[in-house]
Amino acid sequence: MRDEFTWGVATSAYQIEGGVAEDGRGETIWDRFTHTPGRVIDGATGDVACDHYHRWEEDVALMRELGVDGYRFSIAWARVLPEGTGDVNQAGVDFYDRLIDALLDAGITPYPTLYHWDLPQALEDGGGWRSRDTVGAFAEYADAITKRLGDRVSTWITHNEPWVAAFVGHLEGAHAPGLTDWGAALTAAHHLLVSHGEAAAVIRQNVPNSRVGIALDCRPSYPATDSAADAGAHRHFDGFRNRWFFDPVFGRGYPDDMVAAYRDRGRIGPGTPEFIQPGDMDLIGAPIDFLGINYYTSLPISAGADETEDTGIMPGVTVPDGFTEMGWPITPAALTGFLQRVHREYDPPSIFITENGASFSDGPGPEGTVDDQRRIDYLAAHVAAVAAAAESGVPVDGYFAWSLLDNLEWSLGFTQRFGLVWVDHDTGRRVPKASFDWYRERIAR
Ligand code: FCB
């Protein structure tokens, strides 16, 4: 690992903050979605979540105890600009202002993400990410927040997992805003990417010595068999899930094979896709200072299921060895391979693992302690996979474990626990797990 390696933990605003109606925060698409019956598996909402909005000092103390160098969190756009654009809500900014000061006092570098899926509902009402206007609104938000925090924060992540925001939100319908439409998903994906480019330029202007990146999720998968049909399905899946984002961010535009495939299937019209305006691809492909990679699993891909990933295990069901409770196979070697591929094919100047972690529901035993050996095994294997990539020459500069706290896992509500710290969702009580101690020792080493 490089000398200045950053060890961190990650969270996101809607998953932990609560305080949704406090200090002038506006409504977001996730408030609307979780309050729509049937959308969240256990009916949970982010109204209180981990109550981090009130317990943030306790959470910073936990991170200080853990000994992390960095904390990746997200800023809720609707706390800063309740309607998405317009007047800045100073009370909302103040929350992040206090958090950042406390982090710096604790010797922890803040790694804020501007967008972790919680679009202000007012913007959704105007077409959300399907509308080009949201790109301008995002640049306005980036400007407002970096003008206020950029004196103390130099590292900024524009977006978290635009694939999920676009395709789980607008094609699968399992995330807010809950649409199921190819055209909407592809248009949203493009606008998310353009807004990354616009925000990156704004951040560079407002923040001295800024470092700007984006956190992309990945599924470095493989053909289920050596048949030509599975190889083709895998290539298509890789295009859908990985290359559609990695290629344009690194200045190559959208992959030709995928544009052709989407055209053949009637998902975009003939000629240049209708959502692309002149200059967009240059904006999206402007150099970044680092790439964030969120990694959880890798899957076998079979012909006939080219754009779905059905891992076949329902939340709450006992999982076989080799899987997490998300039903995701545990595949650390694929992380090494993917990092090497990204280095070879895209050559980012620096890479951070901005998320990696495992869902296991182990809670306090009779002694009150949480023995989550399976999470320790998962994290140890993935940290080793990152080290292997680094040893082979990949410029990996940090690793952020997902997550500090058991939190609201989106439409899976509180049924999944990814935390190093167990959270009692009725009282907010926090109990560091065995994995917390393991990670503290790993960082200290
Ligand atoms: C990622 C998300 C994060 C969390 C983990 C488990 O896709 O970025 O918020 O839900 O998965």
DSSP 46-110: TTTTT-HHHHHHHHHHHHHHHT-SEEEEE--HHHHSTTSSSS--HHHHHHHHHHHHHHHHTT-EE
The pLDDT assigned to 306 comes to 53
- pLDDT tens track for 146-196: 999 999 999 999 999 999 999 999 999 999 999 999 999 999 999 999 999
Asked if residue 172 lies in contact with residue 164, where contact means CB atoms within 8 angstroms, the answer is no
Question: How far, in Å, is the centroid of ligand 1 from the Cα of 353?
Answer: 13
Kindly report the protein residue whose alpha carbon is nearest to atom 4 of ligand 1: 409
The pLDDT assigned to 187 comes to 98
Asked if residue 42 lies in contact with residue 414, where contact means CB atoms within 8 angstroms, the answer is yes
Sequence letter at residue 291: L
Average pLDDT of the residues in 116-141: 99
Q: Lowest mean pLDDT of 77-86, 225-234, 419-428, name the range.
A: 225-234
The pLDDT assigned to 317 comes to 57
Testing ligand 1's pocket by substitution, the residue of 159, 402, 405, 417 carrying the most ligand atoms inside 8 A of its CB is 402
Predicted confidence (pLDDT) at residue 2 exceeds the cutoff of 70: no
Residues assigned a catalytic role: 161, 355
Q: Among residues of the chain, what percentage have pLDDT more than 70?
A: 96
Question: How far, in Å, is the centroid of ligand 1 from the Cα of 87?
Answer: 30
Exposure class string for 164-188: b at 16+ Cβ within 10 A, else e:
bbbbbbbbbbbbbbbbeebbbbbbb
Nearest to 101 by CA among 34, 54, 66, 148: 148
Predicted confidence (pLDDT) at residue 305 exceeds the cutoff of 70: no
334 burial level (CB within 10 Å; 0-12, 13-18, 19+)? buried
For the chain, domain boundaries: 6-444
Predicted confidence (pLDDT) at residue 375 exceeds the cutoff of 50: yes
Question: How far, in Å, is the centroid of ligand 1 from the Cα of 264?
Answer: 32
Predicted confidence (pLDDT) at residue 95 exceeds the cutoff of 90: yes
Average pLDDT of the residues in 312-332: 78
DSSP character at residue 329: B
Domain range 6-444, CATH architecture: Alpha-Beta Barrel (3.20)
Predicted confidence (pLDDT) at residue 297 exceeds the cutoff of 80: yes
Q: Lowest mean pLDDT of 162-166, 207-211, 300-304, 360-364, name the range.
A: 300-304
- In terms of pLDDT, which residue wins out, 219 or 306? 219
Q: Which two tokens stand for residue 390?
A: 């680094």
Beta bridge partners of 112: 73
Q: Which two tokens stand for residue 95?
A: 């929350």
Local confidence band at 315 (pLDDT 50, 70, 90 cut-offs): very low
Give pTM, 2 decimals.
0.97
Ligand 1 binding site (Cβ under 6 Å of any ligand atom): 12, 15, 160-161, 164, 217, 294, 355, 402, 409-410, 418
